[in-house]
Chains A and B, each alone.
Chain A
Amino acid sequence: MIEYALNFGFFALSLAVLLNLWRLLRGPTLMDRVLAVDTMVINVIALIILFGIQQRTTIFFEAALLFAMFGFISTVAYCRFVLRGDVIE
């Protein structure tokens, strides 16, 4: 039963990443693209977690945590760059 649920989860999350990719390529504004990348990172974290359940291993949690941190930091850095013209003042 978990196998079927995992297949559905992989399908739904892959479709979600493709929709994010469409928004990333389409735009139309700069912040739309930043938002698309931010959402894509969150979806990829969910994919990594589901892959960890499928493989029955916990070693992917560190990867998920790193993705979460880098996604947040890159979003904030880009927004700061747009707001202030500089990342670290």
Chain B
Amino acid sequence: MLELAVSVLIVLGGLFALVGSIGMVKLPDLLTRLHAPTKATTLGVGGALAASMVFFAGFEGSLSIHEVLITAFLFLTAPISAHFIAKAHLHEHVELREGLPPTGRPQGWSTFESLPDPSADEDGDGDDARAAHH
């Protein structure tokens, strides 16, 4: 039974990692390519780590928290690195800025514009920041 659980987790992890990497090769441009590794591959390594945890707890009798540590670290850092990669890509390619949707706020995208000066906005509803940018 434990053996079955470990095997299923290993196969699921391998499949997820493979799907993520295939997506990174197949998808058309970087901003769509970012989806595949940050979701699927992180789940894949999560499956491998869960398999390792079940294996060492069940067969070797030693419950270790190393796996939890690695999983937590990867799940915390994957969105941060994806955010940084997207930001650097937008920074490099100026022509992509026109395709961005409106922010719905007085100030523009924080990647391209600095924060509005809070002292210039007396009534606090962002009118002055809008006037400064348009």
Partner of B30, one of A20, A32, A58, A83: A32
Residue numbers in A under 8 Å from B18 (CB-CB) = 12-13, 15-16
Q: Is the CB of A61 within 8 A of B64?
A: yes
- Tell me which of B70-78, B97-105, B116-124 binds A: B70-78
Dominant SS among interface residues on chain B: helix
How many A-B pairs fall under 8 Å by CB? 167
Q: Is the CB of A36 within 8 A of B24?
A: yes
| Total residues of chain A contacting the partner, CB 8 A | 50
Dominant SS among interface residues on chain A: helix
* Given contacts A19-B21, A49-B52, A31 and B88 within 8 Å (CB-CB): yes
Residues of A within 8 A of B (CB): 1-2, 4-6, 8-9, 11-13, 15-17, 19-20, 22-23, 29-32, 34-36, 38-39, 42-43, 45-46, 49-50, 52-53, 56, 58, 61-62, 64-65, 68-69, 72, 75-76, 78-80, 82-83
